[in-house]
């Protein structure tokens, strides 16, 4: 079976294009990646620029009490005016990412496929037998599965991260929704002075800084964890938030289940007939609490993130996310290359509708 290098490249391009753009993304992955799937599904785009994704944000109003309040007057009393100047810019530098795949001519030969550099030799993909197409695609299947899983794993790690492991890559959720939201900067804005530029937090780090510490889950009084979440929901919607994403580690979900089970288990038929001792899919205030196994992998099984994806999201450069390339083969090696690049960044346009919660 003889294929030209161009024909093999075309088949690989078609297979990768199908793999990365089908609706049911990463169906064959080892474990679920709800954060990655959600962020890529709801991502916004930008056209490019010199290096920053810049968003206008505003949390202060008036002029610090100088002529900026409604006051009474009568007849010809002199009145005062003020000029608003409270807009700030949150700047997030976009980053470039790459992952590459190789396929050697030797591997193709093992599968009974030869590659020739001769173009226009009369062979075309349309004239190849279905068997030849199947053989080549089957050969790629293992590499594509591995390639896709490695992309998904490494991108998920970045999206869950805080931007410190790879300074050239995007900074993930932990750089925006922070365990100690009172310190550091987000997008160049200091939450120590702009207190409205903070997420909600119940963590050990926040407690050490004078905020709310990690929650001690208990079944008494209706459930300590459930009660905190009930109170927090009011704060998350206080400034127009709609927190529809709730991602949690296994220990956090287990604590919710224990509190719920301990405070009531009801059945319309009492204890007659078969009983299901399990707790169904966890929800809170109509929002599904999704188990994200990557929090367990990161040592954060006791943590949950509850946020509004309209205000904390992935931004990808137009036509530059999951961009496939075919680098030229070096003259002195018989290797074919495939590259996948992604250009973008995680951004926040509002933080007081997001929360991070730990249990002890």
Assign residue 99 the CATH number of its domain.
3.90.1690
Tell me, what's the pLDDT at 124? Answer: 34
- Tell me, yes or no, whether 68 lies in a domain: no
Tell me, what's the pLDDT at 269? Answer: 61
d(CA 157, CA 122): 47
d(CA 190, CA 172): 18
- Tell me, yes or no, whether 307 lies in a domain: yes
Q: Are 197 and 57 in contact (CB under 8 A)?
A: yes
Tell me, what's the pLDDT at 121? Answer: 40
Angle 313-225-175 from CA coordinates, rounded to 5°? 25
Give the pLDDT means over successive 10-residue stretches in the chain (360 positions): 66 65 51 93 89 93 95 96 96 97 82 63 42 60 80 96 96 98 96 96 97 96 94 97 97 95 69 68 92 97 98 96 87 88 97 98
Q: Which helix (H) or strand (E) holds 101?
A: strand 95-104
Tell me, what's the pLDDT at 3? Answer: 64
- Tell me, yes or no, whether 99 lies in a domain: yes
Query: Tokens 């719920």 correspond to what residue?
Result: 260
- Tell me, yes or no, whether 330 lies in a domain: yes
Tell me, what's the pLDDT at 135? Answer: 60
- Tell me, yes or no, whether 290 lies in a domain: yes
Max Cα distance, the chain (Å): 98
- Tell me, yes or no, whether 259 lies in a domain: yes
| Structural domain span for residue 278 | 2-53+88-358
- Tell me, yes or no, whether 45 lies in a domain: yes
Tell me, what's the pLDDT at 136? Answer: 58
Query: Tokens 């002075």 correspond to what residue?
Result: 193
Could you give the number of structural domains in the chain?
1
β pairing state of 200-202 and 355-358? parallel
- Tell me, yes or no, whether 67 lies in a domain: no
Asked whether the CA dihedral 298, 231, 347, 286 is positive or negative, the reply is positive
């Amino acid at each position: 079976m003889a294929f030209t290098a161009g024909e093999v490249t075309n088949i690989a391009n078609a297979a990768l294009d199908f793999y990365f753009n089908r609706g049911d993304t990463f169906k064959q992955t080892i474990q679920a990646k709800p954060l990655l799937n959600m962020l890529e599904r709801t991502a916004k785009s930008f056209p490019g620029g010199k290096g920053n994704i810049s968003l206008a944000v505003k949390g202060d109003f008036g002029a610090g009490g100088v002529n900026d309040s409604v006051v009474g007057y009568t007849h010809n009393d002199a009145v005062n005016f003020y000029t608003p100047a409270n807009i700030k810019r949150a700047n997030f530098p976009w980053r470039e990412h790459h992952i590459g795949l190789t396929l050697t001519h030797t591997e193709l030969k093992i599968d009974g496929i030869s590659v020739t550099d001769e173009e226009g030799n009369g062979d075309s993909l349309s004239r190849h037998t279905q068997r030849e197409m199947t053989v080549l695609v089957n050969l790629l299947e293992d590499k594509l599965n591995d390639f896709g899983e490695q992309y998904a794993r490494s991108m998920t790690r970045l999206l869950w991260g805080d931007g410190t492991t790879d300074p050239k890559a995007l900074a993930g959720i932990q750089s925006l929704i922070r365990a100690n939201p009172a310190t550091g900067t987000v997008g160049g804005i200091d939450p120590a002075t702009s207190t409205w530029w903070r997420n909600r937090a119940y963590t050990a780090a926040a407690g050490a800084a004078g905020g709310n510490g990690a929650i001690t889950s208990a079944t008494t009084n209706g459930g300590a964890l459930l009660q905190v979440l009930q109170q927090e929901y009011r704060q998350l919607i206080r400034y127009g938030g709609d927190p529809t994403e709730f991602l949690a580690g296994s220990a956090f979900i287990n604590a919710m289940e224990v509190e719920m089970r301990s405070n009531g288990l009801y059945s319309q038929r009492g204890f007659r007939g078969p009983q299901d001792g399990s707790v169904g899919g966890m929800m809170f205030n109509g929002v599904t609490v999704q188990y994200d196994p990557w929090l367990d992998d990161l040592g954060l099984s006791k943590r949950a993130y509850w946020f509004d994806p309209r205000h904390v999201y992935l931004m990808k450069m137009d036509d530059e996310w999951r961009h496939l390339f075919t680098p030229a083969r070096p003259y002195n090696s018989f290797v074919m290359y495939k590259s996948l690049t992604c250009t973008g960044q995680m951004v926040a346009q509002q933080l007081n509708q997001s929360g991070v919660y730990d249990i002890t």
